[in-house]
Structure 1
Amino acid sequence: MRRTDVARVSNPPKIGMVHKILLRRRFIDPILLSVLVACFPIKLGIDMVLLAFFIGSGIYLIAVGHGSRRLIDRDYATASLCYASVALLIGVYHGNIAENIRWIGLPLYFAVGVPLFTGFVLIKDPLRQIALGARVGLLLTFCLAIYESLAGISRIGLGGNAANAAFVTCVIAVLARFTAKNSPIYLPNTRAWFYVAIVPVIMTGTRSVLPVFAIAALVDVINLRGELLSEMRKLTRRRLIVLGLTCLTVIIATTYKTSDLLITRFENTIEEMDNLIAAPDGHITGLDMRVALWKGALEIFYEHPILGVGASESMQQIKQGIPASQREIYEEFVHVHFFVLDELRDRGGIGFIFLIGFFAIVFKKAIKGSNKDVQANMIIFLCVLVLYGSLHGMLLGDRNVAAITIVFVGVLATQRRAVCGRRVAKI
């Protein structure tokens, strides 16, 4: 053995402090990510603490120049930082920062997702851990929904707003669909997880996202038609009877607990459509209010098409355009229940271009570089965004934006690890 080799053995290189900390966390971080996602829809508070932990870890690794910076998806980083910068600059230009702080701050969430790429450095397969956590989260959501329903809450909100609860539940349901390698026996890979969310979503009374389950079912039938026919042929008569009785029991139990709510929401829908088609009878429905808000937002955009007039100022102008006799009904509204018009009235055409550009770039990257399973799930996720965002304030809830960010980063971070290989992720 040469003298230099002896020296290397007797005096091994010192391990840096960052290296030591990361080595200790490599078995913990995957579990923490699953816990984060599992707690997300039920607002335990643990989820936000863990999200801050991963973001903080990512910021630190970026600041010290750690090699994990290569895991950052450049397209996502560029698009999110551009949109965040535009939102910030236009917000400062409009003034009234104290009143508009929420509108200025929420677009920054997407940019805050950039450190998550490095924050997940110790997780070999982020999408796997996210999918497993989502499955546990759906079970917790289902139980909490039943509890709130038994407690007499007509539209369950999982501790918050019913519409936002429906959106987050749908996002978690999409995440549960992703394939998890070597999944535990009690959390298997099956698309059935997605349809568990139907029960809590129905209990929220949120109609806009219900069509997504039909869309997902159509996608699944098209993709799995061969496998479904093969599995159906293998089923014995006894198993078919058990499966049928189980499905019937779930349908009856769900219908029993939600029948009044479903009937009420269905009648409201019919009434809203009648009011639009025929002459209004003086009774203002939810759709009537949305249409009035949309018209007001369009008027603001026509007058200020480039940069808008800001969130608070535009809402004040919209409310002033409402007849005085109805103005009290709109007093509590802070958005117009359509994410496109909300962006146009707030930040004008410039903001809208960067917003749509961000989503277009991320979806294109996520779908183009993935397998068929991920592609189908991302298409369903896009349907969730469009359906919900067309009738609600999709980008005006902290958890809403955070949930979208987790989906994007989870998919793209897993892609990056596959592209970069072990040499980049090695600590």
Structure 2
Amino acid sequence: MNRLSSIRRHFTPSQINIYFSIVCFFSPPVLGSVVSFVFSGGALWSVLLLAVKRRRFNIDRPMLAMTVAIYAYCAAMILASIVNNTLRADAVYFLPLITLLFFPLSYSTWSITEKATLARIVVLASMAACFGALALAIVQYYWLGMRAEGGAGNAIVFATVACLSVMMCLAGALSGIERAWKPLILAALAGAVAIVCSGSRIIWLAMLIAGIVVLLINRRKLTGKNSMRLLLIAAGIGLVIAAVGFPIIVERADFLFSDWDALNTKGDHSTALGLRVALWQIGLGAFREMPIFGHGIAASRDLMHQGFQDQFGMDRGFSHFHNGFLTVMVEAGILGAVALAGIFVVAARNAARVLRISADPLERFGATMLVVTVITYLIGGLTGILVGHDILDSTLMVFLVCGTYLASGRRQPLPEASAVG
């Protein structure tokens, strides 16, 4: 009996949330799809807790606005299939939408955690993730001779989630959420090197822009000695990245220029750049045919395959158009694209409001999470996947849930019946 009581004390709802949060922020770059299983499992557990009244829905205005935006996007995708009479063919492709629909459930359970505790978990778990990402990148790039994919199995996905971890370390160090700023800066450097090893050029750009924005958000603390120290640190980080990443950057730049030359002089669409250009041409043509509701999800795959055969004489097929908004425009038309944009607009608006009126470091850190997420996903989605990938979707929800809660949410008290978990 005493042993059972001890177990219950160690596995209170707050403790479970702590362990859950650690895994969600550590796993995306290092363990890949583990974040999907953990996040979905946690959301299903939240459904059960809400059903037995051990949790209550935590409904506040920022959370409600985000929920409406997410659900509008899911509705637009389903409506497109109904209009095109492809509901049965598209049904299997609706499964990723479930991850997005979990948002209000996860928010209600995650918000029982103290904000200060959650913010420190985000920072420290991201720090561990950056070091883990570097270890995997070194093995994959230098020992196996491949682009670093971490635990994600895809270089762009790995770079995207690693970029978020890097920004959390940088934001944690600058905001004062974690006083031990030196390990955080070192972790940010480790994550940045891992991203360079991924060879994902678009995420290099996202990392640069997101990093500048994080510095601007925390500019009030960068005065006097702090500004000089930051300048020296930034210079040191730049030199390390240049020394380690220069051969990789040159190699990837050479590939880009070579692909560009082949496309312009020979009309060669078989290269990485050529295939993307071909996909964009096919996608834009398909969008013009059905601009309002799109063609449905399954039909877009057939359109890609047929387009490659008819326009380029190639037998190729992809699951997306290597541009997040173009993919949605083909699948669900203008309505789908506007709904998808709405998710990021709401996140950015929630963050901007907090950054404009609040001086609370926890709230500003949460707003920074939202801003970094919007920047990373939108830039990464220009040449890759925006939503529809299990790791990216789960990580997006993790950051939107926690960022919204930390920025402007209210803590949810536990019902008395759940006091023992």
2:126 to 134, 141, 163: 134
Match of 1:331 in 2: 316
**What is the distance in 2 between the residues matched to 1:78 and 1:195?**
37
Q: Does 1:398 align with 2:393?
A: no
Amino acid at match of 1:117: Y
Q: Does 1:58 align with 2:57?
A: no
Give 1:410 deviation, angstroms.
Answer: 0.6
Does the C-alpha gap of structure 1 residues 94 and 127 become closer, same or farther in structure 2, counting only changes over 3 Å? Answer: farther
Match of 2:94 in 1: 104
Give 1:338 deviation, angstroms.
Answer: 0.7
Amino acid at match of 2:158: A
Give 1:155 deviation, angstroms.
Answer: 0.8
Does the C-alpha gap of structure 1 residues 364 and 248 become closer, same or farther in structure 2, counting only changes over 3 Å? Answer: closer
**What is the distance in 2 between the residues matched to 1:250 and 1:156?**
18
Aligned residue for 1:154, secondary structure, equals coil
Structure with max Cα Rg: 1
2:109 to 107, 111, 119: 119
Give 1:337 deviation, angstroms.
Answer: 0.6
**What is the distance in 2 between the residues matched to 1:30 and 1:93?**
44
**What is the distance in 2 between the residues matched to 1:299 and 1:368?**
39
**What is the distance in 2 between the residues matched to 1:188 and 1:424?**
40
Structure 1, 364-373 or 154-163: larger mean CA deviation: 364-373
User: Within 5 Å, which residues of 2 pair with 1:11-410?
Assistant: 24-43=12-31, 46-66=34-54, 68-71=56-59, 73-96=63-86, 99-101=89-91, 103-125=93-115, 126-159=118-151, 160-179=153-172, 190=184, 193-219=187-213, 222=216, 223-224=218-219, 227=222, 229-231=224-226, 250-251=240-241, 254-255=244-245, 259=247, 261-275=248-262, 278-280=264-266, 282=268, 284-322=270-308, 326-328=312-314, 331-370=316-355, 371=358, 372-410=364-402
Give 1:349 deviation, angstroms.
Answer: 1.4
Amino acid at match of 1:393: I
Deviations 1:206-263 (A, max 9, x none): 111111233244335554487365147689xxxx8xx7997598447624xx72x433
Give 1:354 deviation, angstroms.
Answer: 1.6
Aligned residue for 1:369, secondary structure, equals helix
Deviations 1:53-89 (A, max 9, x none): 4212321233234563125621122222222233233
Is the Cα–Cα contact under 8 Å of residues 80 and 110 in structure 1 kept in the other structure? yes
Does the C-alpha gap of structure 1 residues 150 and 31 become closer, same or farther in structure 2, counting only changes over 3 Å? Answer: same
Instruction: Could you tell me which runs of 5 or more consecutive residues in structure 2 were left unpaired when the two chains were aligned.
Output: 1-7, 359-363
**What is the distance in 1 between the residues matched to 2:21 and 2:229?**
38
Instruction: Could you tell me which runs of 5 or more consecutive residues in structure 1 were left unpaired when the two chains were aligned.
Output: 1-19
Q: How many residue pairs end up in the alignment?
A: 396
Give 1:104 deviation, angstroms.
Answer: 2.4
Deviations 1:282-324 (A, max 9, x none): 4643222222211211111111111111233233234323355
Amino acid at match of 1:403: T
**What is the distance in 2 between the residues matched to 1:355 and 1:214?**
24
Does the C-alpha gap of structure 1 residues 192 and 378 become closer, same or farther in structure 2, counting only changes over 3 Å? Answer: farther
Does the C-alpha gap of structure 1 residues 224 and 71 become closer, same or farther in structure 2, counting only changes over 3 Å? Answer: same
**What is the distance in 1 between the residues matched to 2:296 and 2:258?**
34
Does the C-alpha gap of structure 1 residues 319 and 71 become closer, same or farther in structure 2, counting only changes over 3 Å? Answer: same
**What is the distance in 1 between the residues matched to 2:372 and 2:408?**
22
Does the C-alpha gap of structure 1 residues 99 and 169 become closer, same or farther in structure 2, counting only changes over 3 Å? Answer: farther
Give 1:175 deviation, angstroms.
Answer: 3.3
Structure 1, 141-150 or 341-350: larger mean CA deviation: 141-150
Deviations 1:127-155 (A, max 9, x none): 43222211111111111111222322321
**What is the distance in 2 between the residues matched to 1:22 and 1:367?**
38
**What is the distance in 2 between the residues matched to 1:86 and 1:220?**
33
Does the C-alpha gap of structure 1 residues 98 and 207 become closer, same or farther in structure 2, counting only changes over 3 Å? Answer: farther
Does the C-alpha gap of structure 1 residues 54 and 315 become closer, same or farther in structure 2, counting only changes over 3 Å? Answer: closer
Does the C-alpha gap of structure 1 residues 380 and 182 become closer, same or farther in structure 2, counting only changes over 3 Å? Answer: closer
Is the Cα–Cα contact under 8 Å of residues 22 and 121 in structure 2 kept in the other structure? yes
Is the Cα–Cα contact under 8 Å of residues 100 and 310 in structure 1 kept in the other structure? yes
The structure, 1 or 2, with the larger RCO (C-alpha pairs under 8 Å, 6+ apart) is: 2
Aligned residue for 1:395, secondary structure, equals coil
Is the Cα–Cα contact under 8 Å of residues 269 and 275 in structure 2 kept in the other structure? no
- Residue identity (%): 18
Is the Cα–Cα contact under 8 Å of residues 158 and 165 in structure 1 kept in the other structure? yes
Deviations 1:90-140 (A, max 9, x none): 334445556534542323322212211122144212343222211111111
